[in-house]
Amino acid sequence: MAETVEYEVVTQAGAGRDAGSGEPVLMSARASEGGLDAAAAAARRLVDALVRLGDSTDYDTDALATRINAIAAEVEDALPDEAARLVEMWQQEGPNRHDLVTGPQNPIAPPLVVHGQPDGSVEASTTLPIAYQGQPRMAHGGISALLLDHTLGMANGWAGRGGMTARLTLNFKRPVPLGEPITIRAKQESVDGRKLYTQGVLSVDGEPCVTAEALFIAGHLPRPTAD
Ligand SMILES: CCCCCCCC/C=C\CCCCCCCC(=O)SCCNC(=O)CCNC(=O)[C@H](O)C(C)(C)COP(=O)(O)OP(=O)(O)OC[C@H]1O[C@@H](n2cnc3c(N)ncnc32)[C@H](O)[C@@H]1OP(=O)(O)O
């Protein structure tokens, strides 16, 4: 097996769920109004507009591609060393700002907002745009799987011991609509040695759409370091 390590969970407030405030605690990173978070939000907006644009418009998409490529080239010219960026990404003890589900710096993250609850569960919410469409007007099942896997993973972190997904079982009970608020609740139900058993449900308007049961194995791959 690959070498794995365990991380201590530190919340934004500087403590894990034992802080005992009795209030939900924000676990995902809060988006800043400017800087890279704002640029990622703009990229998300652009992706949404492109998917909605289609071909039946007079809009000059060739010129658009040229302009988008010019911006991409400008950003590429400013990129730091890739290894150093990886170290920076994983330095933070709190929520990952770069991750593809909750990260405000990641344009393909919806992003999902996750709160740790006093009862040991986590609750996550977002609204999915049309870029995530599977069946007409509905979210792709793989997106539901991604959101559930991640939220169950965060529930493990909130419970104090996180790990890697070994098995994820999903039941798709109802299609998940785009453009409507979705909620995911998840909780680590039991621990047996390194085996973490975690469950969750994705609901819309209080109606369960997708349920998940997972086995995680405690430990993560080591974070990149400068050495
Ligand atoms: C306010 C601020 C808070 C911030 C902090 C928040 C905290 C949260 C932070 C961040 C959340 C992030 C959330 C992310 C969530 C997403 C996670 C992923 O997507 S992970 C990527 C996908 N998964 C993989 O790539 C794994 C690939 N598989 C492996 O690497 C290995 O198979 C691994 C590590 C899973 C297990 O390998 P071994 O060698 O360590 O362990 P072995 O000995 O094989 O298994 C241990 C036991 O588990 C059973 N087991 C393993 N896999 C099983 C399976 N699929 N089904 C049933 N049993 C299984 C085995 O039979 C064994 O059982 P016996 O101890 O013998 O009783």
The 10s digit of each residue's pLDDT in 12-41 is 444 455 545 689 999 999 999 999 999 999
Does the pLDDT value for residue 128 go beyond 80? yes
pLDDT at residue 11, as a whole number: 47
pLDDT at residue 10, as a whole number: 54
CATH topology of domain 17-218: Thiol Ester Dehydrase; Chain A (3.10.129)
Mean pLDDT of 142-168: 97
Does the pLDDT value for residue 188 go beyond 70? yes
- CB 156, CB 163: distance < 8 Å: yes
Mean pLDDT of 170-177: 98
Percent of the chain residues past pLDDT 70, beyond the cut: 93
Minimum mean pLDDT range among 14-18, 112-116, 156-160, 205-209 = 14-18
Give the nearest ligand 1 atom to 152 CA: 15
Does the pLDDT value for residue 70 go beyond 50? yes
pTM of this prediction exceeds 0.90? yes
Residues within 6 Å of ligand 1 by CB: 1-2, 4, 9, 11-12, 27, 94-95, 149-150, 153-154, 157, 162, 164-167, 193-195, 215, 217
Q: Whole-angstrom Cα distance, residue 79 to residue 191?
A: 42
Give the residue, 209 or 2, on which the prediction is more confident. Answer: 209
Residue 221: pLDDT band with limits 50, 70, 90: very high
- What value of ipTM does the predicted structure carry? 0.95
| Total length of the chain | 227
| pLDDT tens profile 83-122 | 999 999 988 777 889 999 999 999 999 999 999 999 999 9
The residue to mutate among 192, 217, 223, having the most atoms of ligand 1 within 8 angstroms of its beta carbon, is 217
Give the nearest ligand 1 atom to 195 CA: 48
